[in-house]
């Protein structure tokens, strides 16, 4: 049985037209937790966060959604992104940043390889990474990728 999970405070099923202004998610053959099938749900738009539990130990990779942080009032720019962080005595180092151009809806990436930062844009340089020397000003950080470097 498959389940549909929205990370929002409340979802509601509806028949016919959704409430005015509600974000609607349409799904095909989705089973809900009460074993009913629904093709239309809407959410009230409120997010709920829960403390994370890692029963199998700390994860090797921690992705950080910069846009989600911005929606919660935390604004990160390249100059104030931490190069590393420690979580429960485990050290993580920034290894990659995806960048998004809001103007063109285009994504690129900078990533660390052999102690150098490389820039990747699938539309340029025949898809080959190049040395990262200049930050593209029309792009903003979208996702940060931290990798565990110590136990």
Tens digits of per-residue pLDDT, 132-150? 777 677 888 899 999 999 6
Q: What is the pLDDT of residue 11?
A: 53
Q: Give me the mean pLDDT over the 94-114 stretch.
A: 88
Same domain assignment for residues 118 and 84: yes
Same domain assignment for residues 143 and 69: yes
Which residue among 9, 31, 53 closes a domain?
53
The range of the structural domain enclosing residue 109 comes to 61-148
Task: Reply yes or no on whether the pLDDT at 5 is more than 50.
Answer: no
| Contact criterion met (CB below 8 Å) for 90 and 58 | yes
Tens digits of per-residue pLDDT, 45-74? 566 666 777 788 888 999 998 888 887 788
Look at the pTM and tell me if it is higher than 0.75: no
Same domain assignment for residues 48 and 4: yes
Task: Reply yes or no on whether the pLDDT at 1 is more than 60.
Answer: no
Same domain assignment for residues 39 and 80: no
CA distance 30 to 40: 9
| Contact criterion met (CB below 8 Å) for 121 and 134 | no
Q: Output the six-digit token pair for 146.
A: 């931290």
Same domain assignment for residues 48 and 72: no
Three-state secondary structure call for residue 125: helix
Which residues on neighbouring strands pair with residue 84, listed in sequence order? Answer: 93
Domain count, the chain: 2
């Amino acid at each position: 049985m498959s389940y549909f999970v929205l990370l929002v405070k409340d979802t509601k099923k509806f028949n016919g037209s959704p409430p005015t202004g509600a974000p609607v998610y349409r799904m095909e053959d989705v089973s809900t937790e009460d074993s009913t099938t629904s093709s239309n749900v809407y959410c009230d738009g409120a997010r709920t966060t829960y403390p994370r539990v890692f029963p199998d130990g700390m994860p090797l990779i921690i992705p950080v959604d910069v846009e989600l942080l911005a929606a919660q009032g935390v604004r990160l720019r390249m100059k104030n992104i931490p190069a590393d962080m420690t979580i429960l005595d485990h050290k993580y180092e920034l290894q990659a940043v995806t960048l998004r151009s809001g103007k063109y809806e285009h994504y690129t990436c900078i990533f660390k390889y052999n102690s150098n930062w490389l820039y990747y844009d699938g539309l340029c340089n025949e898809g080959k990474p190049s040395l990262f020397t200049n930050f593209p000003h029309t792009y903003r950080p979208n996702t940060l990728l931290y990798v565990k470097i110590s136990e």
